[in-house]
Amino acid sequence: MSGDGRRADYEERLQAFTGRQLRPRTPGQDPVNQPMIRHWAEAMGDTNPVYTDAGAARATGRRGVVAPASMVQAWTMRGYAATASPPGGEDGFGALVALLDEGGYTSVVATDSEFTFLRELVPGDHIAVSESVESISAEKRTGLGPGRFVTTVKTYTDGDGETVATQRWRTLRFCPPKAEEAPAPPPALRPRPAVNRDNAFFFEGAEHHRLLIQRCADCSLPRHPPGPCCPACGSPEWDTVEAGGRGEVYSFVVNHHPKHPAFDTPYLVAVVALAEGTRLITNLTGVAPEDVTIGMPVVLDWLDADPDLTLPVFRPAPTEAP
Ligand SMILES: [Zn+2]
């Protein structure tokens, strides 16, 4: 079959759905009832007393409370636990969706909902709904991509089969842009460290692939993380010493959550005890989580995460020849 022939055949199969019933008359799970009306009115912030107060409703000439008109859909909604296709009978809706999928119209957005209410519903009414296709448009160019407007009509009936409301329901079924046409998302960056006057030297050193440790200028005690004064002698004077880059795993965790787009999970977060005597929270690289052990010798490596961020990481120390 030629391309034109295939297109004509597809159009014919699609248009065969016009007028077809997608859903046979399906009763709602519960009759119209006061508790659901009350919950709805509360959720919507609708304080009209004709929905909840029989006396107030009678004062308006009604025989008792009535349900808000816009609840009509709620009476026929299937619960969360309901199966995807209606029990028994032909799944016309599924067949139409499958045919639209075949044409590439895999995405959907609702565009219009137009109700006509014929009478007010009262507690005890048992509402059912059926749905038929009114029209399927020719392919249109839309802002979302090429698509077709599918209009169905839902007919709501009471226990006697009398129509109480209709709903003209229009959706746009469209072909989403292909992945390569969509703009590439910006690369996810690692979270920025909180740099302050105490620790700025550490990140400036890292830019030059130098791992600097703060050291008390009076008693020579090294310390990390950086701080304004020595925990041993209280001196505010300090300088730095460059670490040799050798250490061992003091502790570690295998991180699965929370997910962050800059990190491939799982990843390893470790406390590394440096040969100089301080400890550093860092990432382990070049090793599988199951191969990490406490006390494992590690060596410094550098992660140039992005043009504005360089961080020290550690990898297993090469095993020495016996
Ligand atoms: Zn000191």
Spacing, Cα 247 to ligand 1 middle (Å):
23
Which H or E run includes 102?
helix 92-102
> Mean pLDDT over residues 100-114, rounded?
92
In this structure, the strands spanning 145-157 and 163-174 are antiparallel
The pLDDT-based confidence of 82 (bands split at 50, 70, 90) is low
Provide the whole-model pTM: 0.54
The pLDDT-based confidence of 84 (bands split at 50, 70, 90) is very low
Spacing, Cα 235 to ligand 1 middle (Å):
5
Spacing, Cα 295 to ligand 1 middle (Å):
28
254-284 burial, b for 16+ CB within 10 Å, e for fewer? ebeeeeeeeeeeeebebebbbebebebebbb
Spacing, Cα 222 to ligand 1 middle (Å):
8
CA distance to 11, 112, 140, 147, 170, per residue, from 143 (Å): 22, 16, 10, 10, 17
| Contact yes or no for 171/147 (Cβ under 8 A) | no
Spacing, Cα 219 to ligand 1 middle (Å):
4
Q: Is the pLDDT confidence value at 83 over 80?
A: no
Spacing, Cα 231 to ligand 1 middle (Å):
7
Spacing, Cα 216 to ligand 1 middle (Å):
5
Spacing, Cα 246 to ligand 1 middle (Å):
24
For the ranges 41-55, 70-84, 249-263, the lowest mean pLDDT is seen at: 70-84
Count Cβ atoms below 10 Å from residue 113 Cβ, excluding itself. 13
| Contact yes or no for 246/273 (Cβ under 8 A) | no
> Mean pLDDT over residues 201-218, rounded?
96
Spacing, Cα 278 to ligand 1 middle (Å):
14
User: Is 88 or 170 the better-scoring residue by pLDDT?
Assistant: 170
What pLDDT is stored for residue 240 in this prediction?
A: 96
| Sign of the C-alpha dihedral computed for residues 125, 131, 135 and 141 taken in this order | positive
Spacing, Cα 215 to ligand 1 middle (Å):
8
Spacing, Cα 217 to ligand 1 middle (Å):
7
Spacing, Cα 193 to ligand 1 middle (Å):
26
